Chain A
Amino acid sequence: MTPSPGTNAKCEVSFTVNGEAKKLLAHPMERLLDVLRNDLKLTGAKEGCGEGECGSCSVLLDGMLVNSCLVPVAQASGASIDTIEGISAHVLMHPLQEAFLECGGAQCGICTPGMILAAVHLLEKKPEPALAEIREGLAGNLCRCTGYMQIFEAVAGAARRVAK
């Protein structure tokens, strides 16, 4: 669902991605998802629906969980963006990745980058979430493979590991 940029001229956009300053030329209404994937070769964010329903394009924009298919790149100007590729140094990343592997939280893997970012976002706000809070926190990220049970387990397990 790449919207036609029409006749809009490209303009310069600057932001920080995974801690690195980036400056590039883009149509202001280009989707952040396309800029990340095509211009910056960060293909961890995936397009599932192109309309903000599935969450597989989730990234963190100034710490907020957003669907990058709904964010015009102009809106990301000056922002700090974190993608799955960049936040491996995040204190929550390793425990979450380990837990997703151990618990079976990743099957086909297409929702996994977005799901893990949603989990990071949740655990930052709620370090020890109850099951209902995990369900609520991940409700914007669809998974068709797992039935979610093993994802819940992974997120709860990672939270326990970090709390220790």
Chain B
Amino acid sequence: MTVHHIVGESVPRKEGWDKVTGAARYVDDMILPGMLYGATVRSSVARGKIRKITFDPSIAWGEFVLVTAKDIPGKNCISLILDDQPCLASDSVNHAEEPILLLAHAERHKLRRAVDAISIEYEPLPSVHSMEESERRFTIIWGADNTFKSYLVEKGDADAVWKDAAHIVEGEYFTGAQEQLYIENNGVIAAFDPENGVTVWGSLQCPYYVHKALMALCGLPEDKIRVVQMETGGAFGGKEEYPSMIAGHAALLAIKSGRPVKIIYDRMEDMAATTKRHPSRTRHRTAVSKDGKILGGEIEFTIDGGAYATLSPVVLSRGTIHAGGPYSWPSVRIRTKALATNTPPHGAFRGFGAPQSLFAIERHMDRIAKVVGISPVEIRRRNFLKPGQTTTTQQVIREEIDLNHLLDRALKLSDYAAKKTRFAEENKDGMRKKGIGIAAFLHGAGFTGSGERYLNSVVGMEAGADGNVRVLVSSAEFGQGTNTVLCQIAAEALGLPYENVAIAQPDTTVVPNSGPTVASRTAMIVGKLLQSAAKGIKETLTKTGLLGNDYTPEQFRAACREYIAAHETLKSYARYEAPGDVYWDDEKYRGEAYAAFAWAVYVAEVTVDLTTYAVTVDDFVALQEVGKVLHPVLAEGQITGGVAQAIGFALYEKVVWQDGHMINNQMANYIMPTSVDVPPIRVFFEELGNVHGAHGAKGIGELPMDGPAPAIVNAVEDAIGVRFHSIPLLPEDLFEALRPEPLEQDAPFLTRGTA
């Protein structure tokens, strides 16, 4: 058999041709006979008791299907972790835009007026709109103490470090909410018939999350719920948990009406009502030696979870574990909590808590460098984790990662030293100041701790009589390249051409539960399982004597044909087995947090324009170690895309809240980077490998979201010498920080109020 490597090659994207010809089918492109359109009536207040619902008699209500919480056949909740979030509010609401009633009608344009013709009276209750208010506990809005989850990580004796410290460096850092802003809004179609139960077609990441939530909501058994993922126009975490909500709504309308129901959010509804990245606050207090070594410290990391728990406990977990960055902490105490506020629940977004706590540590490292009087490069060098040392959860670094080498290479690629000198000289004159900043970071691949063990993922593979093989997984393609990479791994494992392997559309009646498509786990974990499933197919054929150890695709086809003639089908399944050396203590939050980490050093070059107060990123170097690069073009696309989103996180994307509502819920006033805003994003890889991943792959999808924001804000400080601790960093924030004196002092020239 000629060994032609498929893994590592940039083979054509499986569904690529459909995408470039407009033929790809997204949920809104699908119309079913007799289909109705659904709409959601939402809360206009942040917290209150529902007193009265009035239907304006000018609407012909008889034409509409109306669903309230009373119509829910099963449990009124979106089943996820704590089951605290209702599918439809019945007597009280806990956040603005909370769903209360559902309407459906055959004519889509009649829905808007009908929604507006329903007025709901509330008895307002006091509401909480910041983490500070929530932790003050004057108003309890969730549980006993407004806290969804808290963690404590302790390593060494964090109280003993202060007496030996030459410097004690404190800092407080904030990150804002961020909208995923997939270009395809959330949408589903649901159908119901008594015999087959509920079927849902949707734009989603995790078919089996929706499946589980619908079983509980509809009170139906496993085999009476079918979930099919349509082509999905971007997700980034934003279609991890929310599709269970919208699928539930469509299913309720379909059950009540007996007709298929389509619900597609428009942009304003999607931005106002669905999840966003958790806002965060991180406090650091660090004991540092005279020569800049971290002796230990305390870290407090707090996130705003919104009104219901949803995924906050898990987001908090990842943020907690990443809070120490890629550094050696001899002693540390990390206290973290996820708090309730009366905003729509915050949720999964690429990075999942890590971009928040890594922003803080990477800004804080620059702060420590200043206090100690050494460079941002040197402070990192002196504290980098080395093989054999342990992370904050006391995970031993077993891989031969050399962060100093990564740093050196990134500095060289960005021409860091020369630029630093040149900028210092050039910044003496003019209004355009240049700066350069670095961030070093890590990202754990796969579920945290024992998470993968609980997931217990299964993958399948089916060979046909034509010798072609179909991959059966619930892993969803939403742009990142799942279809392509998993087919590459399967083809290589089977010794078949890439063209002979296809992937099934995720449909819970066809594919097993391979776990959710999240946490940078697909290529590494699901890919590895596919290698086992492929082995099963090969062994079935060799043990029955139909195939030798070396074979051509033609021989494979002949063997499949013969086997299937005798046995009807040829399928192989593989189930996750936890590696023996992964130890995790959920109580103490200690042990092997992740089977592998990806490592990176990013360098950002910026210009701060002191006339417009705008920050422009001029050049960006992204160097990372991600194990094996399975598909160079897709891998590069993950990095450039993640860096662009993170530039938005740092400099453009601000969610403006008013009484718990997002008030800039439009693309016109929530600004993401366009083609003229992004710098050249230069991507470089190192490939150390990883024993736990297919072909040595690690996770890659989330990593690029972590580093750009601190690198950019570090560069801004380098340019103008002003320390910012909060993102997004908008021109008005620079203006505020840089103006010589408060505006009030210019007041004589202004008419103030009517007095």
Docked-complex contact B675 and A106, CB < 8 angstroms: no
Cβ of A145 and Cβ of B637 under 8 Å apart?
A: yes
Residue numbers in B under 8 Å from A56 (CB-CB): 183
Task: Say if the beta carbon of B674 comes within 8 Å of chain A.
Answer: yes
A-contact bits for B214-240, CB 8 A (1 contact / 0 none)? 000000000000000001111110000
Q: Which of A98-151 contact B (CB under 8 A)?
A: 100-104, 106-113, 116, 134-136, 138-139, 141-151
Q: Which of B21, B480, B666 contacts A85 (CB 8 A)?
A: B21
Contact between A144 and B21, CB atoms less than 8 A apart: no
A108 touches B640 (CB 8 A): no
Given contacts A110-B183, A139-B676, A144 and B234 within 8 Å (CB-CB): yes
Q: Which A residues are in CB contact (< 8 Å) with B180? A: 144
Select A147's contact among B13, B19, B182, B642, beta carbons within 8 Å.
B642
B163 within 8 A of A: no
Give B667-701 as 1s and 0s: 1 = Cβ < 8 Å from A's Cβ atoms: 11000111110101100000000000000000000
A contacts with B, residue count (CB < 8 A): 55
> Are B182 and A108 within 8 A (Cβ)?
yes
Q: Say whether A108 contacts B644, CB under 8 Å.
A: no
Bitwise interface map of B from 18 to 36 toward A, beta carbon under 8 Å scored 1, else 0: 1111111110110000000
Query: When the two chains form their complex, are residues A110 and B233 in contact, meaning their CB atoms are under 8 A apart?
Result: yes
Asked whether, in the complex, the Cβ of B22 is within 8 Å of the Cβ of A147, the reply is no
Contact A106 to B643, CB < 8 A, known contacts A84-B21, A144-B236: no
In the complex, chain A residues whose CB is within 8 Å of the CB of B636: 104, 149-150
Q: Are A146 and B20 in contact (CB under 8 A)?
A: no
Q: Are B20 and A148 in contact (CB under 8 A)?
A: no
B-side contacts of A54, CB under 8 Å? 183, 667
Residue from A48, A100, A116, A138 within 8 A of B183 (CB atoms): A48
Instruction: List residues 19-69 of chain B with CB under 8 A from any CB of chain A.
Output: 19-26, 28-29
Query: Smallest CB-CB separation from B267: which chain A residue?
Result: A49
Inter-chain contacts of B268 with A (CB < 8 A): 1
Contact B109 A106, beta carbon cutoff 8 Å? no
> Which residues of chain A are within 8 angstroms of B15 by Cβ–Cβ distance?
109
**Is A107 in contact with B676, judged by CB distance below 8 angstroms?**
no
Contact among A85, A108, A149 for B184, CB-based, below 8 A: A108
Contacts of B22 in A (CB 8 A): 43-45, 83-85, 112-113
Q: Is the CB of A1 within 8 A of B266?
A: yes
Which of the residues B28, B29, B182, B668 comes within 8 Å of A53, measured between beta carbons? B668
- The docked-state distance in angstroms from the alpha carbon of A88 to that of B667 is 30
B630 to chain A, nearest CB (A): 14
If A107-B641, A144-B236, A146-B641 touch, whether A51 touches B633 (CB-CB below 8 Å) is: no
In the complex, how many angstroms separate the beta carbon of A31 from the nearest chain B beta carbon?
Answer: 11
B15, B481, B681, most chain A CB atoms within 10 A: B681
User: Of the candidates B25, B183, B642, which one forms a contact with A108 in the assembled complex, judged by CB atoms under 8 Å apart?
Assistant: B183
| B678 contacts across to A, CB distance below 8 A | 147-149
Cβ–Cβ < 8 Å partners of B113 in chain A: 4
In the complex, what's the smallest C-beta–C-beta distance from B240 to chain A, in angstroms? Answer: 15
A97 at the interface (CB under 8 A from B): yes
B181 within 8 Å of A by Cβ? yes
Cα–Cα, bound, A138→B23 (Å): 22
**Cβ of A5 < 8 Å from any Cβ of B?**
yes
CB A86 to nearest CB in B, in angstroms, measures 9
Known contacts A51-B667, A101-B17, A136-B676; is A107 also within 8 Å of B637 by CB?
yes
Task: Kindly list chain A residues whose C-beta atoms are within 8 Å of the C-beta of B25.
Answer: 43
Interface residues of B in 226-284 (CB under 8 A from A): 231-236, 266-268
Give the complex CA separation of A142 and B267 in angstroms.
14
Give the CA-CA distance A148 to B626 in the complex, in Å: 22
Chain B residues, CB < 8 A from A142: 183, 667, 672, 674
B419 touches A (CB below 8 Å): no
Report Cα–Cα, A153/B28, bound state, in Å. 30
Inter-subunit contact B267/A1 (CB<8 Å): yes
- A138, B675: Cβ atoms closer than 8 Å: yes
List the interface of chain A (C-beta within 8 A of B).
1-5, 37, 43-51, 53-54, 56, 83-85, 88, 96-97, 100-104, 106-113, 116, 134-136, 138-139, 141-152
- 13 A-B pairs with C-beta separation under 8 A: A46-B184, A51-B668, A83-B22, A88-B21, A97-B17, A100-B20, A107-B480, A111-B183, A112-B22, A144-B641, A147-B644, A147-B678, A150-B640
Q: Which 9 A-B pairs have the closest CB atoms?
A: A44-B22, A110-B233, A108-B479, A109-B19, A147-B644, A107-B479, A147-B640, A84-B22, A53-B667
Interface residues of B (CB under 8 A from A): 10, 12-13, 15-26, 28-29, 108-110, 112-113, 180-185, 231-236, 266-268, 478-481, 633-634, 636-637, 639-645, 666-668, 672-676, 678, 680-681
